[in-house]
Amino acid sequence: MKSQKTDLQHLFSMPVIVAALGYFVDIYDLQLFGIVRIPSLESLGLSKAEIDSVGSSIINTQMIGLLIGGILWGTLGDKRGRLSVLFGSIITYSLANIFCGLIPQIDFVDKVEAYKWLRFLAGIGLAGELGAGITLVSEVLPKHLRAKGTSLVAGVGLLGAVVATFTVKLSGDWTIAYFIGGGMGFLLLLLRVGVIESGMYKNIKHTSDVTKGNFFAFFTDWDRFVKYLKCIGIGLPTWFCIGILIYLSNQFGEALGITEKVEPGLAIMWAYVGISAGDFISGFLSHWLASRKKAIALMMGMSLLGVLFFLFGGMKTANTLYATAVWLGFWTGYWAMFVTVGAEQFGTNLRATAATTVPNMVRGALAGMIVIFNFLKPSQGAIWSAAILGIVIYLLGFYSTLSIAETHNKDLDYLEH
């Protein structure tokens, strides 16, 4: 008779470890353009004004790739299995990142256009990693360990942005950072070989009368549609803080009158130090409060305080901005919890589709946020443009969090009809 696994054995099992390392590589590659945006575009001969406009355009293109990839990999995750997505997505973004490192050698097409389309392909690939990993971990762990397990995945994974920053600094060349990211991806494929498929998914894999991975099922039932929108709404404040305040921190530094140079790469690194710590804590906080909703609402409220200080606290030094980035990161570190809530809201036949598309809908929403921010900025300035946008984002976030169904300790072995 086999002995029962301990909680620690469950938490440090191969699916959890590989999902955590996969998310580490995912975040490394996802944040890499934000970190090398200015030096890479400078090396391609762009002016400061062009770097702002072209940089925003490339970020938007990458986020649209994430949006499309989320639908693609989400449906495949429910139709073909969680592991097929983990393999396919990592091959896609690893190749895209290696080619990004070769951009200076490209002479048969416009380098900036090539950069844009490669980040689009990277976005498609990167879209599959987190949702499939969180779905797999949620289904293989006992329900009392789901929050801790997914927090472990995100806490380790989000350190990828910190390592990306140090890689760029130490290598002295942004192209090498892309090569390293692509190489890590292919090494990760070797680890994936030993991971087993979710038992819940195996039980329905060959069941022909169960509709699996139908993205449009979220739009054919009103209650399911509203629940899906609320899942997206919960995550919007996270990418407002990272995608607007942190990515564009150099613009806010100027608007606040900070005389030192504010480096977005450093702001991203410090934000992700905070996010990693916050994601570790969020699962234990949820477990302690016996509520996903209370944990998320608390962290969202604390992040709002950070936003108010960032915009209106009168920061005068770059170091104060970086310290505020840590605060914003820590309290938006409910990212894993938010994705877990998305996975827990839906049945096994739609779970990967939900868990993969929901975070990528949020990431994709950054493209719209940037458009609105840039539209408001000429008349309102950077500070008030962000404030107006932030009010809308946080209202949606709080409403979605407080009105969605609680999923703490929910049994996940069921189907959507």
* Torsional sign, CA 163, 18, 178, 361: negative
pLDDT band at 198 (very low <50, low <70, confident <90, very high): very low
- Mean pLDDT (whole number) for 86-100: 87
Tell me the pLDDT tens digit for each residue of 141-164. Answer: 887 788 788 788 877 887 888 888
Domains of the chain: 7-202+210-403 (1.20.1250.20)
**How far apart, in whole angstroms, are the C-alpha atoms of residue 386 and residue 390?**
6
> Which range in 70-79, 215-224, 298-307, 407-416 is most confidently predicted, on average pLDDT?
298-307
Closest CA to 126 of 239, 30, 43: 30
Residue-level pLDDT at 64: 87
Q: What secondary structure, in 3-state letters, does 269-286 show?
A: HHHHHHHHHHHHHHHHHH
- Mean pLDDT (whole number) for 87-105: 89
Q: Count Cβ atoms within 10 A of the Cβ of residue 93 and give its class: 0-12 exposed, 13-18 middle, 19 or more buried.
A: buried
Tell me the average pLDDT of the chain: 85
Single-letter amino acid, residue 112: V
Single-letter amino acid, residue 278: G
* Minimum mean pLDDT range among 6-15, 109-118, 119-128, 172-181: 6-15
**How far apart, in whole angstroms, are the C-alpha atoms of residue 206 and residue 389?**
46
pLDDT at 288 over 90: no
- Mean pLDDT (whole number) for 200-211: 50
The string of DSSP codes covering 4-70 is PPPHHHHHTSHHHHHHHHHHHHHHHHHHHHHHHHHHHHHHTT--HHHHHHHHHHHHHHHHHHHHHHH
- Mean pLDDT (whole number) for 100-114: 89
